[in-house]
């Protein structure tokens, strides 16, 4: 049976300082890397003879507007069905440079996941064959999952704060 420590040590041995921030919340091996390493890291995990992390579960993003230089985090969830082992990889991006390589050559299923992440967060997956909106209208000039908008509509007059405990 694989342990988080064993896999983490193998990843550190292979990628050195290009990986870091290791953790294992809820026994899910989690670590971060840079955009320059994400493709080779995903390929390493997929092709590793023992680990066989061959199922890309999800790609998404998170917006951290109060973290200068690390405003966006692209998150990859992967699973080894053979070993029943999961891993989460995070890649932090600057809001002024939202580019990251596509992993479609490794996983065709990444196609729609990357399109969704582009549509909702504005992350640009370099090398993607058809990077366009998948859920929202093409005419939208914003990305709705970014934390750039007020939580409430200040123009509404039908809400009485006293009814909401304020």
SS3 per-residue string spanning the chain: CCCHHHHHHHHHHHHHHHEEEEECHHHCEEEEECCCCHHHHHHHHHHCCCCCCCEEEEEEEEECCCCCCCCEEEEEEEEECCCCEEEEEEEEECCCCCEEECCCCCCCCHHHHHHHHHHHHCCEEECCCCCCCCCCCCCCCCCCCCCCCCCCCCCCCCCCHHHHCC
Residue 102 CB partners (closer than 8 Å, separation 6+): 110, 114, 125, 126, 127, 128
- pTM to 2 decimals? 0.89
Section 86-109 average pLDDT:
97
In percent, the amount of the chain with pLDDT more than 90 equals: 83
> Mind listing the pLDDT tens digit for each residue in 8-25?
999 999 999 999 999 999
Domain ranges of the chain: 4-145
Considering the domain 4-145 in this protein, what is its CATH number?
3.30.460.80
């Amino acid at each position: 049976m694989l342990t988080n420590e064993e896999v983490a040590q193998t990843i550190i041995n292979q990628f050195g300082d290009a990986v870091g921030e290791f953790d294992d919340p809820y026994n899910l091996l989690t670590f971060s890397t840079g955009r320059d390493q994400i493709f080779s890291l995903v390929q390493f995990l997929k092709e590793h003879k023992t680990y066989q992390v061959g199922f890309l579960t999800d790609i998404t993003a998170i917006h951290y507007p109060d973290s200068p230089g690390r405003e966006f985090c692209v998150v990859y969830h992967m699973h080894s069905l053979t070993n029943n082992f999961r891993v989460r990889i995070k890649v932090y991006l600057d809001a002024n440079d939202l580019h990251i390589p596509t992993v479609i050559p490794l996983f065709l299923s990444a196609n729609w996941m990357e399109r969704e992440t582009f549509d909702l967060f504005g992350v640009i997956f370099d090398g993607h064959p058809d990077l366009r909106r998948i859920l929202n209208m093409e005419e939208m000039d914003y990305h709705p999952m970014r934390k750039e908008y007020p939580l409430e509509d200040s123009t509404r007059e039908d809400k009485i704060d006293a009814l909401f405990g304020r």
